[in-house]
Amino acid sequence: MWRLLLILALAVPAAAESVVATRTIRAKAVIVPEDLTLVNAELPGALTDLAAAVGQEARVSIYAGKPVRPGDLGPPTLVERNQVVTLIYVAGGLAISTEGRALGRGSAQDTIRVMNLGSRTTVSGRIGPDGAVYVGWND
């Protein structure tokens, strides 16, 4: 009899926790701990760790009580559209910097187009962790 009870006890799925929004989080907002809570339910596709979401940027609006999914979040934006950025050309030991205007928005490691303010030429570059845009930069 006790073996049957042990088997039944092991067959019951463990309760899982899911991350849900405590308030409506607008797109482009950076997630803070007060925005989220854990609920004692397994919601399909929802995050299970609060730390994975805190500090990330919402890509879409997330409504209060709704689960937070990995696709709803991304790294915080470092460069906004029309922002004046440092444009750095790197080749070998040579580095040339100038100012440029971002033609898109993005976070670190994203590739965006930037207009060189001096020559009015449009180039593509990768956003560095410092918010500068690097052209000709190889990892």
Dihedral pair phi/psi, residue 125, rounded to 5°: -150, 170
Q: What is the CATH number of domain 84-135?
A: 2.30.30.760
Q: Is the confidence at residue 125, as pLDDT, over 90?
A: yes
Q: Does 88 score more than 90 pLDDT?
A: yes
Chain region(s) in the chain for CATH 3.90.1210.10: 14-74
Tens-place pLDDT, residues 7-47: 544 544 556 899 999 999 999 999 999 999 999 988 898 99
Residue 108 has pLDDT above 60, yes or no: yes
> 14-74 has which fold?
Type Iii Antifreeze Protein Isoform Hplc 12 (3.90.1210)
| pLDDT tier, 137 (very low <50, low <70, confident <90, very high otherwise) | low
pLDDT, position 14: 52
